Amino acid sequence: MPEIIFANEQKTLSVTNGTTVLEAARQLGIVLETPCNGMGTCGKCKIKIGSDYFLACQKNITENITVFTENKENENKTLQILSGGQSCSCQLKPFISKQFDGEKTVVYGGNSALGTESGDTSKSCYGITVDIGTTTLVVAIINLSSGKEIVSESRLNPQSTYAQDVLSRIHFASNHEGLNVLQNVLIDALNEMIGTLSEKAKISTKNIYEIVYSGNTAMLHLACGIDPKPLGQYPYLSQIHGGEYFTALKLNISPFGVIYLPPIISAFVGADITSGILASQLYEQKETILFIDIGTNGEMVLAKNGALAATSTAAGPAFEGMNITCGMRAGNGAVERFCINNDGSIDYQVIGGTRATGICGSGLLDITGELVRQGIIGKSGRFTSQKTIDGLREKDGKKVFFVTDDVYLTQNDVRQIQLAKGAVRSGIESLLMKMNLKKEEVNRIEIAGSFGYHLNEKSLLSIGLLPPEFEGKVTFVGNTAQSGGTAFLLNVDFRTKMLNVASEIQKIELANNENFEKIFVASLGF
**482-499: pLDDT as tens digits:** 999 999 999 999 999 999
Domain shared by 44 and 141, yes or no? no
End-of-domain residue from the set 71, 87, 106: 71
Residue at a domain's end among 56, 71, 86? 71
The SS3 call for residue 188 is: helix
386 falls within a domain: no
Report the pLDDT value the prediction gives residue 220, as an integer from 0 to 100.
Answer: 97
Q: How confident is the model at residue 85 (pLDDT cuts 50, 70, 90)?
A: low
235 — pLDDT class (breaks 50, 70, 90): confident
Tell whether 197 is covered by a domain: yes
Tell me the β-bridge partners of 131: 138, 214
Share above pLDDT 90 across residues of the chain, in percent, rounded to a whole number: 69
Closest CA relative to residue 300, chosen from 443, 515, 513, 505: 505
Rounded CA separation 86/80 (Å) = 18
For the chain, give the mean pLDDT: 90
Mean pLDDT of 26-30: 81
HEC secondary structure over 475-507:
EEEECHHHHHHHHHHHECHHHHHHHHHHHHCEE
Say what the pLDDT of residue 511 is: 76
Q: What is the mean pLDDT of residues 514-522?
A: 90
pLDDT in tens, 118-160: 999 999 999 999 999 988 899 999 999 999 999 999 998 999 8
**Residue 208 within any structural domain of the chain:** yes
Answer for the pair 227, 221: CB distance below 8 angstroms, yes or no. yes
d(CA 42, CA 416): 12
Q: Please tell me the predicted confidence (pLDDT) of residue 79.
A: 47
Query: Which CATH number characterizes residue 9's domain?
Result: 3.10.20.740
- Do the Cβ atoms of 453 and 86 come closer than 8 Å? no
264 inside domain? yes
Question: Following CA atoms 53, 56, 57, 60 in sequence, which dihedral angle do they give, to the nearest 10 degrees?
Answer: 90
- pLDDT for 453 equals 63
- Cα–Cα separations (whole angstroms), residue 55 to 69, 165, 329, 409: 10, 20, 19, 22
Domain of residue 214: give its range.
Answer: 96-273
Quick one: pLDDT band at residue 29, thresholds 50, 70, 90? Answer: confident
Q: Give the SS3 label for residue 173.
A: coil
**Same domain (yes/no): 17, 157:** no
The answer to which of 77-81, 122-126, 342-346, 412-416 has the lowest mean pLDDT is: 77-81
How large is the average pLDDT for residues 331-345? 90
Among the three residues 258, 273, 288, which one is the final residue of a domain in this structure?
273
- Distance between CA atoms of 399 and 382, rounded to whole angstroms? 9
**Is residue 267 in some structural domain?**
yes
Distance CA 335, CA 355 (A): 9
In sequence order, what DSSP letters do the residues of 340-369 get, joined into one string?
A: E-TTS-EEEEEGGGS---EE-HHHHHHHHH
Q: 20 and 169, same structural domain? A: no
Give the DSSP H/E element, type plus range, for residue 419.
helix 411-434
**Backbone phi, then psi, for 522, in 5-degree steps?**
-65, -25
On whether both 195 and 113 belong to a single domain, the answer is yes
What is d(CA 526, CA 104) in angstroms, rounded to the nearest whole number? 66
CA dist., res. 138 & res. 79, Å (int): 12
DSSP conformation class of 191: H
Cis peptide upstream of residue 235 (ω within 30 degrees of 0): yes
Q: Which of 314, 526, 264 is nearest to 424 (CA)?
A: 314
Geometric angle at alpha carbon 31, from 25 and 35, rounded to 5°: 110
Res 459: pLDDT: 92
Q: Are 376 and 288 in contact (CB under 8 A)?
A: no
**CA neighbor of 126 nearest in space, from 209, 211, 214, 246:** 209
Nearest alpha carbon to residue 502 among 279, 274, 284: 274
Distance in angstroms (rounded) separating the CA atoms of residues 116 and 137: 31
In this structure, are 66 and 114 located in the same domain? no
Q: Where are the alpha helices (DSSP H) in 28-143?
A: 75-78
CA distance 391 to 341: 14
The Cα–Cα gap between 362 and 377 comes to 18
Give the total number of structural domains in the chain.
Answer: 2
The answer to whether residue 260 sits within a structural domain is yes
pLDDT band at residue 81, thresholds of 50, 70 and 90?
low
Q: Quick: pLDDT tens for 316-329.
A: 778 877 789 999 88
As beta bridge partners, residue 107 has 98, 115
**Pairing label, strands 46-49, 288-294:** unpaired
> Same domain, yes or no, for 31 and 152?
no
| Amino acid 84: pLDDT | 63
Q: What per-residue confidence (pLDDT) applies to 61?
A: 93
> Are residues 127 and 10 both part of a single domain?
no
* pLDDT tens string 370-384: 999 999 999 999 998
Q: Are strands 244-247 and 258-261 parallel, antiparallel or unpaired?
A: antiparallel
Across the range 171-200, mean pLDDT stands at 96
504 vs 163: which has the higher pLDDT:
504
Are 102 and 143 in a shared domain? yes
Residues 44 and 113 in one domain: no
CA distance 490 to 129: 10
Cα separation, 87 vs 90, in Å, equals 9
On whether both 125 and 242 belong to a single domain, the answer is yes
Shared domain check, 255 and 151: yes
Do 65 and 105 lie in one domain? The reply is no
- Confirm if 109 and 95 have CB atoms less than 8 A apart: yes
pLDDT value for 329 = 81
pLDDT above 80 (res 78)? no
